[in-house]
Structure formats: structure tokens, C-alpha cells
């Protein structure tokens, strides 16, 4: 697709084509300051140094906010709202375009290029935003249907009426690559036995998307469902690591806490809402007519992102354990935002709204081992050499996600990875 041709080499199949331009926070061996950057192909553009050297001089009105690129997180940039994100992204696309209208800014400016266009492999990623609150929903419709079947319970009456969710623990949200220690916790070995304290025996992953809030809202001011899109900064892959035995025992009546809060991994590059717009599609049709505050004018309110989870064992055996589309949710991010803010709860820049596990309608599209293996009754074949019901110590679980079919214009997320460390001795 010629409109996404860049003078920067973008290998075919790269997640970071000119159609994407995701934002993250990087540091380098030469400059340890965490600072904003965008990724393109196998390079990143250091926005901090780029901004400080006049890189945005051709972008109208940008001087008013260029200080955001001197920050160590993207929160201040996110807070500026969609029109600014759009202007900056479109400008950077123009700067990188093969036939750039601004050749002197970077393409033909070897001195600046040398300073700001860095090999992706040479940078260290940091948390892209400081996370204020992290809410996790239960929007994956087929996940909900399968989960209640596994646990032999009924779907709650509220499920089709509102985006049901819980508030998670923002202190435990970590960047992809952070090792995840198998948690200790309290659980029952059988349904009628006394609880014990020990390392979880049912360590699971969850395939999710996380939506970062951009423009904040104020205390006591709800966000309307059709205004909510303006409050979205972008999206990351999110793995809500879960200890099923701990979670099952603790949940009644206040919901999950320790079964979740030992680690929640996110991918480092935030794909802006604008970059995902071409991949919007309809959510799962809701059998219930929802209340007006949740009725969204745009029927294409979720994204069709191809998601994969890949397990690599300590022996080096690798297996894609599930593949699915992110579209299989009953609720959209705008609906989650409208619902959670309907009572006046403030949304801050950097808050995360997560989808909850997404699963597709077939047994090949489950987003957790809980579903894939019927809570331990079955096991997944790993490259014909090993089996897994749940995650074992040393296992590495990688999520990946990508939109589009044009290998030269993919909008991808890269990966979200974590390796399981053995439990601490209790």
C-alpha cells in the first residue's frame, strides 16, 4: 500500500508500519532518562531529543505542548486529548513518509537522524504511563459462557445489562518482560477441605486488551457513551495472570483480589485509538436492549485484532496455545468508560480499562487455560513433546496482537511476555 511507504526501512510483517506509529517510553545506554518515543519498523524516534531540536517546528501550535515529550511517562501527552494525539501522529507519519512534505526535518537531516532515530533493539522500554487505577471487566462474551460452564454456575442476571468488572491493583501492573513469581496464597484443595496456604497450583494467563485513558474527567462528572471515545488514548496487550485456586476461594462476596494482583503485564507500545480506527467492527450482539446511557451510536465499537498466545517451556518447546479476535466482547471500551464514570467516578490519564479475558466462540479460541483445559481436566499439547494444563515454573507466555492483512501496513502491538519464576518458600 503505497500510501504507507516510508523512507525508514520497515520490514514486511513489521507491527510498526507507517500505518501505526505507537508511543512508548524508552531509555538507552547513552541516555538513561526514560523518555517518549514512537516505533517505526526496527527503529524508534526519540521524541524528547527530536522535540528539543526543532523536530516539531513544522507542526502548527505544537510549542504549547512540546514539554510533554520531556516527561518520563506519556501521561501528560495522553491528557492532551485526541485532537493533539491525532495531529502529532499524522505529522510524524508525514515526517516518515517516503515522499515527506518535510524532508529537511529528518529524512535529509543526517545530523538529527543520527541523534534521534535509534535501533529498536538498542532501547530499553519502560512503563508507558503511570497507571492510576486499573479496572478489569468481564466483557468477553464467550469467555463468560465458557467460564460459567467450567464452574457449573449461572451467568449473573446483570451480565447483559452492564459491563460487569472489578477494580484491580495498579501497583501490580508491570511491563512486558518482567518475570512473574508464582504466587503464594490461600486456597482449598477440594471443595470441602479446609484452606491451606501455599503456591498456586492453577497459574493461568488471560488474553486481554488494556485501554489507556487519555483526556481525564472530573470528580462527579460522568462521561457520556458517545463522548467516551474522546477519552481513549490507546490500547495495549494485557495479560491478567490469574491463580484460579486462590481466586475461587476468595471471591465470595467481594470479588477477586489476590488471585489477580501478583502481576498484570502490559505491552510497551501504546497503539493510538486513531491507528486502530480502520479495524473497528461490531461487538457481539447483545440479546438485551441496554439502557440509554450504554447505547452507543457507532455500532462498530470494538476492534478486530488478531491475538495469539504462545507458550515456550524451559526445554525450549514452543506452541501457539490459542488464537482469537479481540472483537468477541459484549461491551466496548466506550461503554466501559461510560458505565464506570456514570456515578461520577473520575477517569485519570493513565488509568486502564481492561477488557477481561477475550475468547472466541470455538474451543480453539479460548483466552485462558481455565477454558482450554476445562480447569485442569484436559491438557494442551506443546509441540508434541510436553503437555500443560496450567503454567509451570520456567514457562514463558507471550501474547501478540496485530491488525490488518497488508504486510506492509500492519498495525501491531509487538508482544507482551512473562516468564514464571518458582514460588518463594512459604
Q: Which residues are catalytic, by number?
A: 143
322 strand-pairing partners: 309
CA-wise closest residue to 260 among 246, 279, 272: 246
Compute the least distance from the CB of residue 248 to a copy of itself, in Å: 10
Angle at 274 between CA 273 and CA 275, to 5 degrees: 90
Between residues 25 and 294, which has the closer beta carbon with respect to a copy of itself?
294
Compute the least distance from the CB of residue 351 to a copy of itself, in Å: 7
Compute the least distance from the CB of residue 24 to a copy of itself, in Å: 20
Please, what's the b/e burial string for 207-230 (b: 16 or more CB within 10 A of its CB; e: otherwise)? bbbbbbbbbbbeeeebbebeebbb
Between residues 1 and 421, which has the closer beta carbon with respect to a copy of itself?
421
Compute the least distance from the CB of residue 119 to a copy of itself, in Å: 29
Compute the least distance from the CB of residue 8 to a copy of itself, in Å: 36
Q: Which residues contact 365 (CB under 8 A, 6 or more apart)?
A: 142, 322, 323, 324, 325, 328, 359
CB atoms within 10 A of CB 402: 20
Length of the chain: 426
Between residues 165 and 214, which has the closer beta carbon with respect to a copy of itself?
165
Instruction: Supply 310's cell numbers.
Output: 504462545
CB of 219 closer than 8 Å to CB of 346 = yes
Compute the least distance from the CB of residue 273 to a copy of itself, in Å: 21
Q: Which residues contact 362 (CB under 8 A, 6 or more apart)?
A: none
Footprint on this chain of a copy of itself (rule: CB under 8 A): 132-133, 135, 138, 153, 156-158, 161-162, 164-172, 174, 178-181, 183-186, 195-197, 219-220, 222, 243, 246, 249-259, 261-263, 291-293, 339-340, 342-348, 351, 421, 424, 426
Q: Please tell me the distance from the alpha carbon of residue 83 to that of residue 410, in angstroms, as a whole number.
A: 23
Please, what's the b/e burial string for 267-281 (b: 16 or more CB within 10 A of its CB; e: otherwise)? bbbbbbbebbeebbe
Between residues 278 and 344, which has the closer beta carbon with respect to a copy of itself?
344
Please, what's the b/e burial string for 169-193 (b: 16 or more CB within 10 A of its CB; e: otherwise)? bbebbbbbeeebebbbbebeeeeee
CB atoms within 10 A of CB 295: 12
Amino acid at each position: 500500500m503505497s500510501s504507507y511507504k516510508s523512507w525508514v526501512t520497515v520490514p514486511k510483517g513489521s507491527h510498526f508500519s507507517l500505518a501505526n506509529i505507537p508511543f512508548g517510553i524508552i531509555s538507552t545506554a547513552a541516555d538513561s532518562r526514560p523518555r517518549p518515543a514512537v516505533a517505526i519498523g526496527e527503529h524508534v524516534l526519540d521524541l524528547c531529543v527530536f522535540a528539543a531540536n526543532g523536530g516539531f517546528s513544522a507542526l502548527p501550535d505544537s510549542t504549547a505542548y512540546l514539554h510533554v515529550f520531556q516527561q518520563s511517562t506519556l501521561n501528560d501527552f495522553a491528557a492532551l486529548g485526541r485532537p493533539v494525539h491525532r495531529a502529532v501522529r499524522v505529522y510524524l507519519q508525514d515526517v516518515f513518509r517516503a515522499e515527506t512534505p518535510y524532508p529537511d526535518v529528518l529524512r535529509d537531516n543526517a545530523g538529527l537522524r543520527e541523534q534521534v532515530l535509534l535501533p529498536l533493539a538498542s532501547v530499553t522500554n519502560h512503563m508507558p504511563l503511570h497507571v492510576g487505577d486499573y479496572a478489569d471487566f468481564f466483557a468477553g462474551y464467550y469467555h463468560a459462557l465458557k467460564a460459567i460452564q467450567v464452574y457449573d454456575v449461572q451467568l449473573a442476571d446483570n451480565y447483559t445489562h452492564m459491563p460487569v468488572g472489578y477494580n484491580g491493583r495498579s501497583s501490580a501492573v508491570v511491563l512486558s518482560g518482567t518475570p512473574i513469581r508464582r504466587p503464594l496464597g490461600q486456597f482449598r484443595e477440594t471443595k470441602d477441605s479446609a484452606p491451606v496456604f501455599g503456591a498456586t497450583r492453577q497459574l493461568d494467563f488471560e488474553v486481554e486488551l488494556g485501554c489507556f485513558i487519555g483526556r481525564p474527567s472530573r470528580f462527579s462528572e460522568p462521561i457520556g457513551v458517545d463522548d467516551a471515545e474522546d477519552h481513549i488514548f490507546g490500547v495495549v496487550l494485557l495479560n491478567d495472570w490469574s491463580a484460579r485456586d486462590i481466586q475461587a476461594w476468595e471471591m465470595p462476596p467481594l470479588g477477586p483480589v489476590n488471585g489477580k494482583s501478583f502481576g498484570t503485564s502490559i505491552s510497551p507500545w501504546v497503539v493510538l485509538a486513531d491507528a486502530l480506527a480502520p479495524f473497528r467492527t461490531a461487538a457481539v450482539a447483545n440479546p438485551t436492549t441496554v439502557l440509554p446511557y450504554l447505547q452507543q451510536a457507532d455500532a462498530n465499537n470494538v476492534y478486530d485484532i488478531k491475538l495469539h498466545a504462545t507458550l515456550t517451556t524451559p526445554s525450549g518447546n514452543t506452541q501457539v496455545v490459542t488464537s482469537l479476535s479481540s472483537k468477541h466482547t459484549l461491551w466496548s471500551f466506550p461503554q466501559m468508560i461510560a458505565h464506570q464514570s456514570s456515578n461520577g467516578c473520575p477517569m485519570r490519564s493513565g488509568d486502564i480499562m481492561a477488557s477481561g479475558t477475550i475468547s472466541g466462540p470455538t474451543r480453539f479460541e479460548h483466552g485462558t487455560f481455565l477454558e482450554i483445559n476445562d480447569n485442569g481436566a484436559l491438557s494442551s499439547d506443546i509441540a508434541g513433546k510436553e503437555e500443560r494444563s496450567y503454567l509451570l515454573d520456567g514457562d514463558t507466555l507471550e501474547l501478540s496482537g496485530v491488525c490488518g492483512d497488508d504486510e506492509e501496513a500492519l498495525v501491531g502491538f509487538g508482544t507482551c511476555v512473562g516468564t514464571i519464576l518458582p514460588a518463594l518458600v512459604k
